[in-house]
Structure formats: structure tokens, C-alpha cells
A and B are shown apart, each in its own frame.
Chain A
Amino acid sequence: MLEIKGLTAEVDGKPILKGVDLIVPQGEVHAIMGPNGSGKSTLAYVLSGRDGYEVTGGTALLHGQDLLAMEPEERAAAGVFLAFQYPVELPGVGNATFLRTALNAIRRAKGESEFDAMQFLKLARERMKALSMNDEMLKRGVNVGFSGGEKKRNEILQMALLQPKLAILDETDSGLDIDALKIVADGVNAMRGPDFSALVITHYQRLLDYIVPDRVHVLMGGRIVRSGGPELAKELEAQGYGAIQAAA
């Protein structure tokens, strides 16, 4: 379970999150929607521990553990995974090396045995097949020369390999055509189960046709201003954020 209470954070001295309260019970998938600049990515970064995002108040607990006190790699070991809105390119770092290093870092932290190159390749190929990814993507530099859709799929592949307890998907749908969107949604749906929760951040309702959330929250002006069932996403699609703003 993820419990966020009264979370405030600033960037460059500018308050962005102004008291976020949010609970995602274990096994549930929640969507966060909101207009551009409302603080969705900021929330994702604060939860995953990026430098430069200063927490000024509140708490965030994952299964009772204080996330905000941990280094980014400790959060990853505790089960947090962020699928980046803009995945980073790492020229000179082979994608296979990157994926295996990450997998083994997480396995080590969990006290599990590390995968050798053969075991890793077998697992990676299996997961890549499910995501319709070409094996050749293992040989390239991390995200180097990948199309927008390939980058997003590479994020989902990492999620599938690392098996997090809490996945935060930051606009994973942006820039995807409908086929890619379905593949990504299938990847997320395959993870669903009692030990997996997700925060699906999106600007559009479209993704939520394929990843049907248990709850939908609207983030505006650094706060959750409304929460509801999946139907709330449809309402937003029809009426826009303006109506909510007026009501809030």
C-alpha cells in the first residue's frame, strides 16, 4: 500500500506540490490525471527520489516504509519503479548490460542470486517477445536511436524484468500509436495482481480504456482535487479540466 499524506515539494524554491493526499491500496491501479504543468511528473520524481525536487512537508510510505528517507536505489530495491515520461539515452552503455545490471542490483538487494548472461538473455528474450520488441534492441546503447514508442516499450520491459511492487507510469501513453498503446497496456495488465500496485499518470483518457483503473484522481495546482471511479476519466474527457477547476 502507498500512503501519501500532506506531501509538499518545491523545485528551484517554487512550490509545486501543495499538500497531496493519496492512498493506493495493495493490488490496485490508480490513475492520476491533470492538465500540463499540474505537478504530475513532480509527484513521480518526488516518489522516486530525483535530486532537485525538495520535499518540504508530508510523508510517503510504501508498505509502511518511509520512501522519502531513502536513496533512489533503495526505493527501487523497496519495489518502486518509475517509467519515465522522457526515458534517458545512455550512449556507450549497452541496453543488455544496463538491463542485467539493474536486474541483478534489485535481485541482490532482495537477497536473491544474480543472473548470469545466459539466464538473463533467456528471461529478457521472453519478456521482449511479449512486448513485440526486437532482440536487436538489446545490442544498442540504452534508448540510443530508439523511436519514441521503442523507448516507452523499453521502460515497460524494465518493469517486467524488475517486478516492482509499485509502478509509476508517467505518461507512458504519450507518443504511442494505438497498437503500441495496446502492447504497453497488456504489459501493465500482465503485472496486475495482489502484490502489484500502479500509479498511471496520463493526460488523456485513452490509455484508461486499456488499463482500467480502480480509481481516478485529478491533480490540479499541486493537490488532488477530485477522486472517483473509472467513469471520472470519461467525464473529464467530455467536459475538460475547466469544469473541475470551476467546481473545486
Chain B
Amino acid sequence: MTAAPQPGAAGFLARYQGLKDHLPGARLPWLAALRSDAAAHVAARGFPTRRVEAWKYTDLSPVAQAGFAEPLTAVAGALTLPKPRCAVRAVFVDGRFRADLSALDGLAYRAASVAQHLDALEGMLGALAPLAEHPMTALNTLMFEDGLFLDVPAGVDAGHLELLSIAVDPGRPFAFHPRHVIRLGAGAKLTLLESAIGGSAQYLHNPVFEIDLAEGAVLTHGRAQQEGEGAFHLSMIHARIAAEARYDTMAVSAGARLTRMEIHAALTGPKASCHMNSAQLAAGRAVVDTTTALDHAAPDCASRQTCKTVLAGQARGVFQGKILVRREAQKTDGYQMNQALLLSEEAEMDSKPQLEIYADDVKCSHGATIGALDADSLFYLRSRGVPADQARSMLVQAFLHEAFEGLEDDVLREALTAAVDGWWVRHGTAS
């Protein structure tokens, strides 16, 4: 019987000390330097407390106090994978790439394990992910073992790819920190469906994405987080969007006991655009947090954001959305809307829109609402014979509707709708 792992940042640092010669890329000087830099940040700051402004509303102490071991080195037995939604599929089990479960052959672009291609990632991995401001990015950089490396050459339309993360219950809490690096060359295109499932396992899933879109590239990124009630899901996206490139993301958070989906996106060239929509759903005592920062650093760029939060039971929701419009970002077109629907009187929502505008010729609007289901609407449906549960479900879907607007890809739409429907089946009728 081994001793319980030490909790908090100290636990991760101790594990790093023990593992560092065995972590992938341990012999690459640039990576060793990056990891030791990360170690210094983790040692100095640890897990953020609520006194840190960016973490004012989401309490990470349940994560900081838990002791996480390593994932199992080999997962025994057959895994039941969900039905593939795309022909091209990269499967990760406990954060490790599984070639045997993936389907990545014969592609016109590179889709491979980060761990196996670290020599090709110098100068790329870490380039968009500042450690100082982002404690979870620092922890990921310290501990990551694997992730998905997607490199789509200029002009290639890569079609659809599914990135599936599965966590398998080893009977004790564990942590994994996938590092995904995605690069689209000029004019390249990719539709990425990211999904995460995890059954009853107790774990921390701490993925970091570095997304670099060259001129005119288009990345459409659907995200379905459907992990179990024992999961902490803290994900971070660092994205750089060049001139005329487009990054569209639509996320559904419909699982885990604590989810934070954080995005930092910079529009760095003229006419770049970013849509980031999300639907976050929580019941019981779960916490969902959408935190975003959009940096308009070039003229004529557009950003649109719709975040919808549905809370049942004693769940808590957080929305923090910052839009920075730099002096040079004239003719910026920015829109942000965040709305919460509280299905119970004990649910709570915190929302913090933040506009910082230094350019004078911009169009930026934002709005926020918090409310309950409308009694008149509910009665109208019921008076037409629709049972109360179904009527509530229809109104919740209607509430989420705008977040799904503009999601034209059928594969993404179906997957994300199914994530919402699954949540409703598990939690909706009780609320």
C-alpha cells in the first residue's frame, strides 16, 4: 500500500522531481528549460486562491486540497468508446495518445502524438502560453506527458477531426495535463470536435491548447465536456489569430463537478475574427466557469460571444469576459452577451463583463441577464398538453438557442446538442 499523494502544488512539484528524467522530451534542452521555468512558477504561486482577481468567483481549494496520483501506466481491459462522429479520430486515454484506438492514417496534414514529435515542436510548444499569468498553464507545462499535435499546411482543407479524451477509473484520484498544439497554415481549414468523457473516475483534467492560425486560416472548434461527477475540468486555450483568419468555438460544459473553460485569444492581423459561444450547464453542487479574454490588437477585426448558463440545484456559474481593444484596433466590431437561467432558487451566478477600449472608432456592445424560467411561457406550453418536464426542456433549449446560432456544421451541432440533451436527461427532470 502506497501513501496517499501529497496535495496541492507541493504534491505536483514532488512528482515532477521524481518524474522529470522520464517525462517525454526530458533530454531536449529547450523543453527541460521550459519545464524548470514552469516549476519555478508553480513553486512561487501554487494554486490560485480567490484573492487572485481572475479566480475571485471560482474556488479551486477542492483541487488544491486533493492529492492526485499518476494515471495508470497501462489501462487494462477493453474500453468502450462512444460511436465515432468523424472518420478521423485521435483518442487519448488518461491524457495519453492511443494509436490503437485512433484513426489518423493517410491524412494530408500531420495529426500525431505530441510526446512522439517533441523535436518538431521546439519554438512552437510554449510560444503562445505565458506561464506567469496562468497558474494552470504553468502546471500543465510542468507535468504534460502527451497531447495532440495538429499541423495543417497552407491551403489544405483538413475536414473533420475528432479529439476524444477518456478517463478510466483506477480507483484513486489522479491527474493528467494534455498539451495540444494546433497550427493551421495560411488559408488552411479544420473542423475539430473535442469531447471529454470520464465515467465515475476522480481526477483533474487540465488540458492546454495552443492554437496558431495563419492568415486566412479557419478553425471551427466544437467542444463537448461530458465528464463524470468526480472530475475537475480546467481547460485553457491560448489562441493567436492572424489577418483574415477565423477561430469559431462553441463549447458545451455538461459534466464534471468543477469546470472552467478559459480562452485567451488575440486577433493579431486586420480582419481576423473570433466567435466564442458556450452553453454551460450545472446541477447539484457543481460549478461551471467560462472565462475569456479577447485581445483586439489589429484594425477591422470582429468578435462575437454568447455565453448561456443553466443552473439547477445548488450549482454555481461564473462568466468572466474581457474584451481589450487596443489603440491600433480601429473599426473593431465586438459583441458579448451572457445570460443565465436559474432553475432553482438556490443556484447562483456571478458575471463580470469587462470592456477595455483604447481605440476611438469601434462598435462594442455587451449585455447580461439572469432570470428564472418564464411562468407564462411554461403555462402556455402546458395548456397545449405538453407535460411540465418536456415544457421546461423546450424552454431551456430555447434559452440556449442563440448560443447554437451560427453553428452550421452538422457534425458539431449533433454532438453538442446530444451533450445538452444528455445533461437534461440526467439532471433536468429533477430541477
Contact = CB atoms under 8 A, between A and B. Distances in A.
A155 B400 CA distance: 26
Given A84-B380, A88-B380, A73 B387 contact: yes
A109 B383 CA distance: 13
Contact of A51 (B375, B377, B398): B375
Contact of A71 (B382, B394, B398): B382
Of the candidates A72, A75, A81, A105, the one having the most CB atoms from chain B within 10 angstroms of its own CB is A72
Interface residues of B, number: 23
B379 interface: yes
B418 interface: no
B385 A50 contact: no
Given A84-B380, A88-B380, A101-B390, A93 B385 contact: no
A92 B379 contact: no
A105 B381 CA distance: 10
B377 A90 contact: yes
A75 B401 CA distance: 30
Given A76-B385, A91-B398, A92-B401, A105 B380 contact: no
Interface string B74-100: 000000000000000000000000000
Nearest to B401: A92
Given A50-B379, A51-B375, A72-B379, A92 B402 contact: yes
A147 B390 CA distance: 28
A20 interface: no
A119 B402 CA distance: 29
Contact of A105 (B375, B384, B402): B384
A1 interface: no
B112 interface: no
A205 B390 CA distance: 39
Given A73-B388, A88-B377, A93 B383 contact: no
A49 interface: yes
Contacts, number: 76
B6 interface: no
Contact of B394 (A48, A81, A88, A101): A101
Nearest to B386: A105
A82 interface: yes
A95 to B, nearest CB: 12
A2 interface: no
A162 B377 CA distance: 19
Contacts of A7: none
A87 B379 CA distance: 11
Nearest to B378: A51
Given A90-B377, A90-B380, 15 more contacts: A73-B388, A73-B391, A81-B383, A88-B376, A88-B379, A90-B395, A92-B402, A98-B381, A98-B384, A98-B394, A101-B386, A101-B394, A102-B385, A102-B386, A158-B384
15 contacts: A49-B382, A52-B375, A72-B383, A73-B385, A73-B386, A73-B388, A76-B383, A76-B384, A88-B380, A90-B380, A92-B400, A93-B394, A93-B398, A102-B385, A158-B384
